[in-house]
Amino acid sequence: MWKIEDNRLFVFTNVCEKVAKESSYLNKAKILKDFFEHGSSHTGFNGDLLVWTRMLIPSDSQRVYNLQNKQMLKLFSRLFNTDPQKMQHELEQNGDISEVLSKYFRLSAKLAPQSTSSLYLQEVDELLEELTKLTKEDEQSELLRQLCNQSTSSDLKTVVRIIKQDLRMNAKASHVLAAFGPTAYPTYQATRNLQSVVEQVGLKVPSTNRKTGAGLMCPIERKVKIMTPISPMLANACNSVEEAFKKCPNGLFSEIKYDGERVQIHKQGNEFRFFSRNLKPVMEHKIKRFKEFIPQAFPCSGDMILDSEILLVDTMTNDLLPFGTLGAHKKKKFQNAVICLFVFDCMLFKGEVLTDLSFQDRRKILEDNIKPLKSYVQLSEIHFLKNKNELALMVAKVLKAHLEGVVLKDPCGTYQPGKRGWIKVKKDYLYQGQMADSADLVVLGASYGSGRKGGVLSIFLMGCFDNRDFLWKTVTRVHTGLDDNARLEMHDELLKLMERSKSTSSTYLVFV
């Protein structure tokens, strides 16, 4: 029966608050480890470890709630009978939507919070699953009303944080899973399957039923599971060709670094799943035709997992179009362009896991089994480089062609999910950044940050003057590169010169 003390929402909230107050990541993991060993009663943990772990790592569920801050304010302001503009102003100053909603829940005369918490994690989990199925405001509002009718203001704050996938603990998945031992997070990176990790840590039964002295973690076999996303292998920045060859003195493979979008492809029988670099589903308009093309390009593949990049290719000139052109609206501007898939690695082929094979062996499997479809499915361009001179020439060639750079790979390297085992060389990194592109822009607008940046203008809308059209045009947004003191100084100066945009859809302050 799941209605036990260790499964109560308020117990979960208390643990999260305790973790949040601890600054040391090691001690955060220790707090969780102690709780999962002893439980809230200190006689042994009897809760549902899988539900707990999923709640502690809310991003793992990949749930989409269709509830951004603006929509939440709109729905809850109606439930609480509160002025949404007042709540919006509070959010700008506070930066934490969960705190704002919790406060106005306490103040509401229309919908009063419960005095004591009665919710269980399993009930919250079911409610959140139901919320993902709702897109109409009336349906969302009714479900959120049901939640409020059962919640304290603290309960609501915790549930909103789960929805926002930020428990405000300053603890990532790696820190949470460190409670289970050193191999839990690497296993999660490889399998991206919390249930598999939890089952293998030996905690399927309450800790009181385990033998005295048994640790949280038992040996784990890392498994790649088809149709479950794998944390992609990444690359470290490299500042010079000399530095690259220090790591691979016997030669390395050089691949074109495509300025597109990373896509991980899972094929099981006739079924496909496409995941982004962040392991989220890829938008359908970007990959819909590949379900037709991939079986043609890999006719004998069986079940497989591919690592790849998608980008627009101009079929008239064969030019690779820049990042951002894959957007549904921007793509319409390029009538002669199609989305091309450039495959550069393979983690599973014909049902066999390849992550422990060397890169050159994995590449050979791809080369031996692909029938390229020009401008639709191709292998990445690759060259074996034996010395620094060859690498210098390759980098120069790539930069002259206005490509992003190169990725360098150890011929003997295995595929390490989530690890930075490759090397990337871009002009931004060379000569201490002196080759990077630059532009002189001015601040046209600013908006308030969130979290610890709440109440401070932290997101800056940058632009320049167009002499032809004789008006200011926006170019980009900037929200990094300033320390706290510089940000506060910018805030004080800009606030004197700006007022809120008259556009109802904009949260920016603009110059008067």
Query: How many CB atoms are located within 10 Å of the residue 4 CB?
Result: 16
* pLDDT tens, N- to C-terminus, the chain (512 residues): 789 999 999 999 999 999 999 999 999 999 999 999 999 999 999 999 999 999 999 988 878 888 889 999 999 999 999 999 999 888 888 889 999 999 999 999 999 999 999 999 999 999 999 999 998 999 999 999 999 999 999 999 999 999 999 999 999 999 999 999 988 998 888 777 888 888 877 544 344 333 333 444 444 445 688 988 888 999 998 877 788 888 788 899 999 888 899 999 999 999 999 999 988 889 998 999 999 999 999 999 899 999 999 999 988 888 888 766 676 555 566 777 899 999 999 999 999 999 999 999 999 999 999 999 999 999 999 999 999 889 888 888 888 877 788 999 999 999 998 889 999 988 775 655 555 667 889 989 888 877 667 678 888 999 999 999 899 988 888 887 788 788 888 888 888 887 777 665 566 677 65
Question: Exposed e or buried b for every residue in 155-165, given b needs 16+ CB within 10 A?
Answer: bbbbbbbbbbe
**Structural domain tally of the chain?**
3
Of 256, 276, 253, 257, the closest CA to residue 266 belongs to 276
What angle (nearest 5°) sits at the alpha carbon of residue 60, between those of residues 57 and 66?
105
Contact 494, 509 (CB under 8 A): yes
Do residue 453 and residue 354 come from a single domain? no
Query: How many CB atoms are located within 10 Å of the residue 344 CB?
Result: 23
Side chain identity, residue 245: F
Domain boundary among 164, 192, 215: 164
Of 254, 288, 255, 253, the closest CA to residue 272 belongs to 288
Q: Which two tokens stand for residue 297?
A: 């390009």
Q: Which two tokens stand for residue 478?
A: 């900037």
Structural domain harbouring 328: 235-433
What CATH number corresponds to the domain at position 487? 2.40.50.140
Q: How far apart are CA 476 and CA 54, in angstroms?
A: 35
Q: Which residues contact 190 (CB under 8 A, 6 or more apart)?
A: 222, 223, 224, 230, 231, 355, 417, 418
Q: Flag whether 333 is in a domain.
A: yes
Q: How far apart are CA 184 and CA 426, in angstroms?
A: 34
Q: Compute φ and ψ for 27, nearest 5 degrees.
A: -75, -30
Do residue 406 and residue 463 come from a single domain? no
Contact 88, 225 (CB under 8 A): no
Do residue 160 and residue 265 come from a single domain? no
Give the residue numbers marked as catalytic: 257
Do residue 317 and residue 465 come from a single domain? no
Q: How far apart are CA 228 and CA 89, in angstroms?
A: 41
Q: How far apart are CA 7 and CA 39, in angstroms?
A: 10
Do residue 266 and residue 328 come from a single domain? yes
Q: Flag whether 177 is in a domain.
A: no
Around 101, how many Cα atoms within 13 Å sit in the side-chain half-sphere? Answer: 30
What CATH number corresponds to the domain at position 344? 3.30.470.30
Of 123, 345, 375, the closest CA to residue 253 belongs to 345
Of 8, 37, 32, 9, the closest CA to residue 20 belongs to 32
Do residue 426 and residue 291 come from a single domain? yes
Do residue 335 and residue 288 come from a single domain? yes
Query: How many CB atoms are located within 10 Å of the residue 235 CB?
Result: 16
Q: Flag whether 326 is in a domain.
A: yes
Q: Compute φ and ψ for 407, nearest 5 degrees.
A: -115, 130
Q: Flag whether 185 is in a domain.
A: no
What CATH number corresponds to the domain at position 150? 1.10.3260.10
Query: How many CB atoms are located within 10 Å of the residue 473 CB?
Result: 10
Q: Flag whether 212 is in a domain.
A: no
Helices (H), 212-311: 241-247, 284-287, 290-297
Q: Compute φ and ψ for 209, nearest 5 degrees.
A: -95, -5
Handedness of CA 328, 333, 339, 344 (dihedral sign): negative
Contact 294, 339 (CB under 8 A): no
Side chain identity, residue 208: T
Helix, coil or strand: residue 361:
helix
Q: Which residues pair with 352 in a beta bridge?
A: 349
Of 457, 460, 456, 465, the closest CA to residue 443 belongs to 460
Q: Which residues contact 11 (CB under 8 A, 6 or more apart)?
A: 5, 40, 47
Helices (H), 307-400: 359-369, 388-400
Do residue 260 and residue 277 come from a single domain? yes
Do residue 383 and residue 453 come from a single domain? no
Do residue 415 and residue 448 come from a single domain? no
Domain boundary among 414, 433, 452: 433
Domain boundary among 433, 452, 477: 433
Do residue 305 and residue 402 come from a single domain? yes
Side chain identity, residue 484: D
Q: Flag whether 227 is in a domain.
A: no
Q: Which two tokens stand for residue 19?
A: 């973790």
Do residue 156 and residue 291 come from a single domain? no
Of 405, 471, 465, the closest CA to residue 441 belongs to 465
Q: Which two tokens stand for residue 53?
A: 């772990």
Of 413, 356, 349, the closest CA to residue 221 belongs to 356
Q: Flag whether 200 is in a domain.
A: no
Q: Flag whether 353 is in a domain.
A: yes
Q: How far apart are CA 47 and CA 19, in angstroms?
A: 18
